[in-house]
Chains A and B, each alone.
Chain A
Amino acid sequence: MEPILHTDNLTIRFGGHTAVDRVNFQMPEKHLKAIIGPNGAGKTTFFNLISGELKPTAGDVYFKGQSLAQKSAIERTRMGLGRSFQITNVFPNLTVLENVRLAVQSKEKIRYQLFRHFKSYKAITEKAEELLALVLLDNKRDALTTMLSHGEKRKLEIAMLLALDTEILLLDEPTAGMSLEEVPTILEVIRTIKQQGDKTILLIEHKMDMILDLSDSIMVLFNGQLLADGSPEEIMNNDTVQHAYLGGLYDEHLTDIK
């Protein structure tokens, strides 16, 4: 089966530093792939190349076989590539509901409607409320986003991504900086989406137990290169991967699991 997303020698250099180095990867449809790798491995940069925030120095990204080289970030979102951000990126002085509402509005293609009152679009508000309920934020709908805790902002980020209803979801450390009690909510949300079965998900995470719980496959980035890509078992037993992480972040998790 043709992959829904693949890259061909995807490379980007910042000055002398190659942040993503000739990555060839394939993403089967309706699949959940986790991306792991130490800090600075190039994971976020890889997302930026896929979503169009950055232009590659060489290589290309393909969505359903079509080159994305000439597509702007906006066009890619509209085609079906949605992403969340590692560093929370929301509208701070708008209410929680309005943040999600804007995302739903984009999905519903209500872009140039100048004369109707926005509140008359009831379905949009309802959809936004539904998504807030899904990430357990419905009690905060009228709060200003700046007043949310870090974990709540992460949840809002997810709700906004889901609102876009894109075929592909790029999740950049959805649980980064969250308190332990909040992690299960996100885990549940991702699990629910996965079970619904119509999304293709790329997930950058550091929490190994969560990755093993959710992913169909795992790819490892190291110094910008694709070190390994395979089933969770293959990756866990891969010597190169073990070696790369020696003394690194994952050791404790790995031993935990074994």
Chain B
Amino acid sequence: MKLKISLRHIAFFLLFAIFVLLPFVNDSRTLLILLTQIFIFGILAMSYDILLGYTGIVSFGHAMFFGIGAYTTAVMLKQMDNTLFIFVLSILIGMLFAGFVSFLVGLLTLRLKSHFFAMLTLAFSGLFLVLAEKWRSVTYGNDGFTFRAPDVFRDRMTFYFFVFTSLVVIFLALYRFVNSPTGRILIAVRENEQRTKSLGFNTLHYKVIASVVAGIVASFAGSLYAVSLRFVNTSVMTMDITLDALLMTIIGGVGTLVGPLLGAAVIEYAQHALSGMARDYPIFERWIIFFGILYILAVIFFPKGIIGSLRLLIWKWRGKVKNKKTQVALPQEKERFE
């Protein structure tokens, strides 16, 4: 146990050090932009994991919160001023608004059976998409608009560190959240909602809490995303974003928080590599097909995602070394639930 914990800490520390030092070793713009993108989608995917992985809620409308953040920040930076203060303010307002919307939507829809809920989330996010399209005076319709990021972020490296710090802070906060008593109840809801009720927990409340937390974090990711592009259009509200988050979570490993981060890295990197190849081989322009294949392979070979499968391997290896007979929980399960 001791060994495992310190190993994990060492791994995290190493990764942390690598990402801090990397920009000084290799300051290629492409790499910085790619990593920034991975971090942003990592935050989004972690937020989706709170819903899917921890609470067992399937939402098709998660992009709406990402979009709320992206538009709030973009509109405020454009209409008011491109200062750091406005940027921070826009993040807070976006998160507040996203939290409010997910609270209302959750309260209205989370009582329903899961498939009705999934459909309704799709409908609600459609509503926001239409709003973004039609409210032209502010959103400039489908084409969107460019805006100026705060001056400090002119330097890509500053923005990189800002995003990286956010990622670390959010990861730690969410990690705490899922390991809090309330977080444990979310897992119970995922495992057996009816039983959770009969223990005297009002499961609707917990599903709403999960969706508010997920919505707030997704909005934050959206704010960062808009600034990373210095541009926003309706694509931030589309199903593609939700599907990306879903894929990243599933491929990386649901209910692990680390998994979605890894998933974000895999998908974003693949997208980047494939779009590079598409210049020479047009077939790669249809990268979504490759994701379909990747997704199917992942579900067949890594039903628990990359992280889940890795942990399983480690457990098997350890199990052989230690005691074959004692049936104890898999390490990942113990960690998560004990």
- A residues near B (Cβ < 8 Å) are 51, 53, 73-74, 77-78, 83, 85, 89-95, 97-98, 101-103, 105-107, 110-119, 121, 142-144, 147, 160, 164
Chain B positions 188-244 with a Cβ under 8 Å from a chain A Cβ: 188, 191-192, 194-202, 205, 209
Residues of chain A with a CB closer than 8 A to B327's CB: 143-144, 147
Residues of chain A with a CB closer than 8 A to B184's CB: 98, 101-102, 105, 118
Tell me, in angstroms, the Cα distance from A97 to B328 when the chains sit together: 12
Query: Do A93 and B337 touch across chains, with their CB atoms under 8 A apart?
Result: yes
Q: Does any Cβ of A come within 8 Å of B289's Cβ?
A: no
| Chain B facing A: main interface SS | helix
- Shortest distance in angstroms between B199's beta carbon and chain A's nearest beta carbon? 5
Residues of chain A with a CB closer than 8 A to B180's CB: 113-118
Q: Does any Cβ of A come within 8 Å of B98's Cβ?
A: no
The CB with the most chain B CB atoms within 10 A, among A77, A91, A97, is that of: A91
Residues of chain B with a CB closer than 8 A to A101's CB: 184
Tell me, in angstroms, the Cα distance from A236 to B180 when the chains sit together: 53
- Shortest distance in angstroms between A128's beta carbon and chain B's nearest beta carbon? 11
Q: Does any Cβ of A come within 8 Å of B338's Cβ?
A: yes
Tell me, in angstroms, the Cα distance from A91 to B209 when the chains sit together: 21
Query: Do A113 and B182 touch across chains, with their CB atoms under 8 A apart?
Result: yes
Q: Which residue of A lies closest to B202 (CB)?
A: A74
Excluding A98-B337, A102-B184, 20 further A-B contacts by CB distance (< 8 Å) are A74-B201, A85-B198, A89-B194, A90-B192, A92-B192, A93-B191, A94-B333, A94-B337, A95-B333, A97-B338, A98-B184, A105-B184, A111-B201, A112-B205, A112-B209, A114-B180, A114-B209, A116-B181, A119-B179, A143-B328
Given the known inter-chain contacts A73-B197, A77-B199, A94-B337, please indicate yes or no for A143 contacting B329, CB distance below 8 A. yes
Query: Do A114 and B177 touch across chains, with their CB atoms under 8 A apart?
Result: yes
Tell me, in angstroms, the Cα distance from A100 to B13 when the chains sit together: 35
Q: Which residue of B lies closest to A148 (CB)?
A: B327
Q: Which residue of B lies closest to A125 (CB)?
A: B338
- Shortest distance in angstroms between B294's beta carbon and chain A's nearest beta carbon? 26
- B residues near A (Cβ < 8 Å) are 176-177, 179-185, 187-188, 191-192, 194-202, 205, 209, 327-330, 333-334, 337-338
Residues of chain A with a CB closer than 8 A to B334's CB: 95, 142
Residues of chain A with a CB closer than 8 A to B192's CB: 89-92
- Shortest distance in angstroms between A217's beta carbon and chain B's nearest beta carbon? 26
- Shortest distance in angstroms between B311's beta carbon and chain A's nearest beta carbon? 14
| Contact pick for A164, options B181, B199, B338, CB 8 Å | B199
Residues of chain A with a CB closer than 8 A to B329's CB: 95, 142-144
Given the known inter-chain contacts A116-B180, A164-B200, please indicate yes or no for A94 contacting B330, CB distance below 8 A. no
Query: Do B188 and A83 touch across chains, with their CB atoms under 8 A apart?
Result: no
Given the known inter-chain contacts A113-B181, A144-B333, please indicate yes or no for A98 contacting B338, CB distance below 8 A. yes
In the complex, the 10 A-B pairs of residues with the closest C-beta atoms, listed nearest first: A77-B200, A91-B191, A94-B337, A98-B337, A106-B200, A144-B329, A113-B181, A106-B199, A110-B181, A147-B327
Query: Do B199 and A103 touch across chains, with their CB atoms under 8 A apart?
Result: yes
The CB with the most chain B CB atoms within 10 A, among A97, A98, A117, A143, is that of: A98
Q: List 7 A-B contacts (CB under 8 A).
A: A83-B198, A93-B191, A93-B333, A114-B177, A117-B179, A142-B329, A142-B334
Residues of chain A with a CB closer than 8 A to B185's CB: 102, 105, 111
- Shortest distance in angstroms between A36's beta carbon and chain B's nearest beta carbon? 24
Residues of chain B with a CB closer than 8 A to A142's CB: 328-329, 334, 338
Query: Do B191 and A117 touch across chains, with their CB atoms under 8 A apart?
Result: no
Q: Which residue of A lies closest to B204 (CB)?
A: A74
